[in-house]
Chains A and B, each alone.
Chain A
């Protein structure tokens, strides 16, 4: 049983670290910002899950599981938030390569907002205020 658990921990750890390596390789080799964002923010959650399960099994303790579940849940909640904000400001500031997109549904909304008549004062568009 002990040997089986040790092997399980080893496999989980190696897979979890492999997720980090995949994120690094993706960051290094993907061509533009949106694909890099995909590579950077996707493997975090699965990698952390594998590492945390490995940690809990290796420590043979039930007491760390709520803490690890909290950490993983926070990761699950906050990874999409940062990805959304980065993608949003990348789209607005022309950092994202829009030539490579097949479909651009946000373009309609952004064009509509930016073609509104100027009123002399510097006016923040409605969705920028949030």
Chain B
């Protein structure tokens, strides 16, 4: 049964990451791109959790914790330095 669940979850995560990549390519502003990449990192973390479930180990737990803890720094940094240069 776990095989079927993995297929369903994998297809859903794949579609979600394709949507994120399209948004990164299309996104009108840099903030849209940062947002999409943020979601992409979370999708990768979820995929690591799925891999841990499939193979019954806990090797990637630290990476998941690190991604949850530090993942927001990228978007905060970029959005801090996005400014309207004409009015500066």
Q: Assess A72 versus B68: contact at CB under 8 Å? Given A24-B15, A48-B42.
A: yes
Chain B residues contacting A44 (CB-CB under 8 Å) are 39, 42
Contacting residues of chain B (15-42) with chain A, CB-CB under 8 angstroms: 15-20, 22-23, 28-29, 31-32, 34-36, 38-39, 42
- Whether A13 pairs with B9 at a CB distance below 8 angstroms is yes
- Whether A21 pairs with B16 at a CB distance below 8 angstroms is yes
* Contact among A59, A86, A93 with B35 in the assembled complex (CB-CB below 8 Å): A86
Contacting residues of chain A (96-121) with chain B, CB-CB under 8 angstroms: none
In angstroms, Cα B46 to Cα A36, docked, is: 20
Interface of B is mostly: helix
- What 1/0 flags go to A83-99 for Cβ under 8 Å of B? 00110111011110000
- Whether A9 pairs with B72 at a CB distance below 8 angstroms is no
Q: Assess A21 versus B12: contact at CB under 8 Å? Given A33-B32, A52-B49.
A: yes
- What 1/0 flags go to A1-17 for Cβ under 8 Å of B? 00000110110011011
Chain A's closest residue to B22 (CB) is A28
Chain B residues contacting A81 (CB-CB under 8 Å) are 72, 76
Which size bracket describes the interface of A in this complex? 35 or more
Chain B residues contacting A93 (CB-CB under 8 Å) are 29, 82-84
- Whether B29 pairs with A95 at a CB distance below 8 angstroms is yes
Chain B residues contacting A18 (CB-CB under 8 Å) are 12
Chain B residues contacting A79 (CB-CB under 8 Å) are 72
Q: Assess A20 versus B12: contact at CB under 8 Å? Given A55-B52, A89-B31.
A: yes
Q: A10-B2, A52-B49 are in contact. List 13 more A-B contacts (CB 8 A).
A: A13-B9, A21-B15, A23-B39, A27-B36, A47-B46, A71-B69, A74-B65, A74-B68, A86-B34, A89-B83, A94-B84, A95-B31, A122-B88
A-B contact pairs, 7 of them (CB 8 A): A17-B9, A20-B13, A51-B46, A51-B49, A55-B49, A78-B68, A82-B79
9 closest pairs, A vs B, by CB? Answer: A24-B16, A24-B19, A78-B72, A82-B72, A17-B9, A28-B19, A95-B29, A89-B79, A71-B68
